[in-house]
């Protein structure tokens, strides 16, 4: 006879509510830019994104040591990279660089990486930040690094929306 105080067959602790919801998966998003890479993190349960401090990107490429540290700290299950498109739907001039960055992430961290249309994400992010400042929710001016991090949040939020349309957001594509 099972111990009534022990875990149930599903592995839940005694008194824990039954849940059909899958465990939370942590997702990290990147807004790839030629000077900076905005970053954000969120989970598949709350489906909200939080900005992280960005990473410098320049002639020598991304600061991989800083990206490595963030990935180790947050331990995401999936990485999302914004793919820049022009208004007409064509890939922007830095699209190939963003694709290379995504491929490097996949190789470096052995994690699934998804690309998502980031069109107008920086404009949306700048608008959100200005609105927060106008409402008194931000005390300082909006810096470019703030916009990059907020754009990564927009990218992640878009991925959350898109992932609900597919069967399994973590399946290999």
pLDDT band at 80 (very low <50, low <70, confident <90, very high): very high
Per-residue pLDDT of 22-55, as tens digits, reads: 677 999 999 999 999 999 999 998 899 999 998 9
Domain contains 7:
no
Q: Write out the two tokens for 137.
A: 């929710």
In a domain, 34, yes or no: yes
User: By CB neighbour count within 10 A (0-12 exposed, 13-18 middle, 19+ buried), where does 99 fall?
Assistant: middle
- Backbone φ, ψ for residue 47 (5° rounding): 55, 35
d(CA 95, CA 75): 26
Among candidates 145, 112, 157, 124, which has minimal Cα distance to 38? 145
What is the per-residue pLDDT for 58? 81
On whether residue 73 sits in a domain, the answer given is yes
Ramachandran angles phi, psi of 49, nearest 5°: -115, 140
Number of domains composing the chain: 1
Q: CA-CA-CA-CA torsion for 81, 82, 83, 85, nearest 10 degrees?
A: 180
Could you read off the pLDDT of 112-140 as tens digits, one per residue?
Answer: 999 999 988 888 887 888 887 777 777 77
For residue 156, give its domain range.
26-164
Q: Is 114 helix (H, G, I), strand (E, B) or coil?
A: strand
Give the CATH number for residue 133. 3.30.420.140
Tell me if 51 is assigned to some domain.
Answer: yes
């Amino acid at each position: 006879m099972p111990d009534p105080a022990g875990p149930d067959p599903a592995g839940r602790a005694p008194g824990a509510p039954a849940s059909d919801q899958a465990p939370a998966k942590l997702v990290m998003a990147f807004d790839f830019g030629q000077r900076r890479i905005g970053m954000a993190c969120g989970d598949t349960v709350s489906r909200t994104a939080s900005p992280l401090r960005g990473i410098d990107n320049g002639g020598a490429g991304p600061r991989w040591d800083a990206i490595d540290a963030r990935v180790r700290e947050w331990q995401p299950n999936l990485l999302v990279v914004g793919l820049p498109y022009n208004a007409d739907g064509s890939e922007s001039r830095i699209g190939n660089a963003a694709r290379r960055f995504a491929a490097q992430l996949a190789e470096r961290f052995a994690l699934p990486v998804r690309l998502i249309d980031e069109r107008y994400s920086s404009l949306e992010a700048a608008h959100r930040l200005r609105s927060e400042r106008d409402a008194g929710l931000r005390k300082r001016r909006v810096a470019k690094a703030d916009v990059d991090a907020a754009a990564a949040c927009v990218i992640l939020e878009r991925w959350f929306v898109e992932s609900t349309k597919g069967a399994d957001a973590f399946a290999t594509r």
